[in-house]
Amino acid sequence: MPKIVDHAARRDEIGWAVARLIEAEGVHAVTVRAAAAAVGFPPSTLRHYFPNGDQMLAHALVVVRERQKQRLAAVTWPEEQRAALREAWLQTLPLDADRLTETHVWLAASLTARSDEARRILADINTGLDRLCDATAQALTSPDQQAAAATALRAFTDGLALGAIAQPEHFTPERITESLDFYLASTQSR
């Protein structure tokens, strides 16, 4: 009897292995051979799903985006708006090993994405982040400050994400959470 393979699950398994490879060795290490070794498949099997590194990076972004969506869908949202916004940011920022891996993929793709597919998926992720910034600014600042507040928040949260990668000993999950809480508490309510 032939083996039944869940191709979507296998693609996602490879995508997450590529994400971990990016975190461990950098985006330059994403080759068919290295990804095949990371996931434990022969290179020919991996080539069946992803013929090149650009397609693997694009699918790693898909996996990151879907993991974030699943995490957000599983949240029991607080009724208070500031608490709900805080919870959304906590699901987005690199506060555990998986979210740190996701952040590595987002940053690597931000700097190196060459394919239209990877750029499209990255744009989708960034649009989601921008919407969260806009929602936070709308909820916590006066109308005349919302555009500037959303831009400042995006720079702030991107900085926290970059800090978690570049200086993990300083930008610990606790420090990131404290910084987010400080930002949210210091932002004037309308």
pLDDT tens across 36-87, in order?
999 999 999 889 899 888 899 999 999 999 999 999 999 998 999 999 999 9
> What value does the mean pLDDT of the chain take?
93
Does the residue 97 lie in any domain?
Answer: yes
**What average pLDDT does the segment 136-148 reach?**
94
Spatial CA neighbour of 32 closest among 56, 16, 12, 8:
56
Does the residue 2 lie in any domain?
Answer: no
Q: Residue 189 above 90 pLDDT?
A: no
Percent of the chain predicted with pLDDT > 90: 82
Does the residue 86 lie in any domain?
Answer: yes
Domain that holds residue 145: 7-186
Q: Structural domain tally of the chain? A: 1
Does the residue 50 lie in any domain?
Answer: yes
Please report which confidence band the pLDDT of residue 3 belongs to, taking 50, 70 and 90 as the band edges. confident
How many angstroms separate the CA atoms of 136 and 154, rounded?
10
Does the residue 155 lie in any domain?
Answer: yes
How many angstroms separate the CA atoms of 75 and 153, rounded?
22
Does the residue 55 lie in any domain?
Answer: yes
Which residues have CB under 8 Å from 95's CB, separation 6+?
173, 176, 177
Number of H helices, E strands in the chain: 9, 0
Give the torsion through C-alpha atoms of 77, 86, 129, 75, to 10 deg: -30
Does the residue 1 lie in any domain?
Answer: no
Token pair of 44, please? 């020919």
pTM reported for the whole predicted model: 0.90
Q: Residue 106 above 90 pLDDT?
A: yes
* Residue 2 pLDDT: 65
Does the residue 60 lie in any domain?
Answer: yes
CATH of the domain at 157: 1.10.357.10
